């Protein structure tokens, strides 16, 4: 039989609208292999292919205590093999990184900089499902937060010091995990302090 696919991974960067799942096969089979994906839940819709080894489904049941169970079956001339992933929807929430991180000076406050960012545009309802954020700006990977606002003031900056600022987002109720860090944005302490 072919290699067992998996383990599949599923994440909800567009909670509560949709879940994306993907899986791999290792080693990559030489034979043509197709995949049949099913999942069990309270409702039973299908996972629509978004690529050869990925799919997405919507019509989600939020706060359900019945786990979803994704079942990926690889089939080729040698046979079939399955991999499964049970999960609770709220446990797989993982927003995309925040966007449009901007750094601006604060008039009369040479040791401070204002950071502002936007929630990930893929997060459908920031008003109803707020996000919390962490900010990272020192070389030593320390981060500050969480904050439930989309701005933060860096203080005590050495004049001329260069920082690389990043922001990450997580569902405000603390479900699931933090997004990846946003791309590093340079922030320079005011040289003319």
Q: Is beta strand 54-57 parallel, antiparallel or unpaired with respect to 48-51?
A: antiparallel
Q: If binding is defined by CB under 6 A, does position 88 make contact with ligand NAG?
A: no
Determine the length of the chain.
Answer: 193
Does position 71 interact with ligand NAG (CB under 6 A)? The reply is yes
Smallest separation (angstroms) from ligand NAG to the CB of 104 = 26
Q: Does 79 bind ligand NAG (CB under 6 A)?
A: no
Instruction: Report the nearest approach of ligand NAG to the CB of residue 192 (Å).
Output: 30
> Within its chain, how far is the Cα of 60 from the centroid?
18
Measuring CA to CA, how many Å separate 96 from each of 19, 119, 150, 153, 182?
13, 9, 15, 23, 9
Compare residues 150 and 179 and give the one whose CB is closer to ligand NAG.
179
Residue 72 CB neighbour total at 10 angstroms: 27
The interface with ligand NAG within residues 118-157 (CB under 6 A) comprises 140-141
Q: What is the edge-to-edge ordering of all strands in the sheet holding 113-118?
A: 99-105, 113-118, 151-154
Choose the binding region for ligand NAG from 26-34, 50-58, 103-111, 145-153 (rule: CB under 6 A): 50-58
Nearer to ligand NAG, 50 or 173 (CB): 50
Contact residues: ligand NAG, CB under 6 A:
18, 20, 36, 38, 50, 54, 56, 71, 73, 82, 84, 140-141
């Amino acid at each position: 039989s072919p290699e067992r696919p998996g383990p599949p991974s599923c994440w909800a960067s567009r909670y509560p609208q949709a879940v994306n799942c993907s899986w791999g096969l290792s080693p990559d089979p030489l034979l043509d292999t197709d995949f049949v994906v099913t999942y069990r839940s309270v409702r039973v819709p299908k996972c629509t292919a978004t690529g050869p080894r990925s799919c997405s489904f919507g019509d989600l049941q939020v706060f359900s205590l019945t786990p979803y169970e994704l079942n990926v079956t690889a089939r080729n001339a040698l046979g079939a093999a399955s991999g499964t992933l049970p999960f609770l929807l709220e446990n797989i929430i993982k927003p995309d990184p925040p966007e449009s991180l901007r750094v601006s000076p604060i008039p009369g406050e040479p040791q401070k900089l204002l950071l502002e960012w936007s929630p990930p545009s893929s997060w459908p309802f920031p008003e109803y499902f707020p996000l919390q954020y962490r900010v990272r700006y020192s070389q030593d990977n320390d981060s500050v937060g969480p904050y439930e606002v989309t701005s933060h003031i860096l203080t005590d900056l050495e004049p001329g010091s260069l920082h690389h600022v990043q922001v990450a987002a997580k569902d405000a109720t603390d479900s699931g995990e933090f997004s990846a860090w946003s791309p590093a944005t340079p922030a320079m302490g005011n040289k003319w302090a």
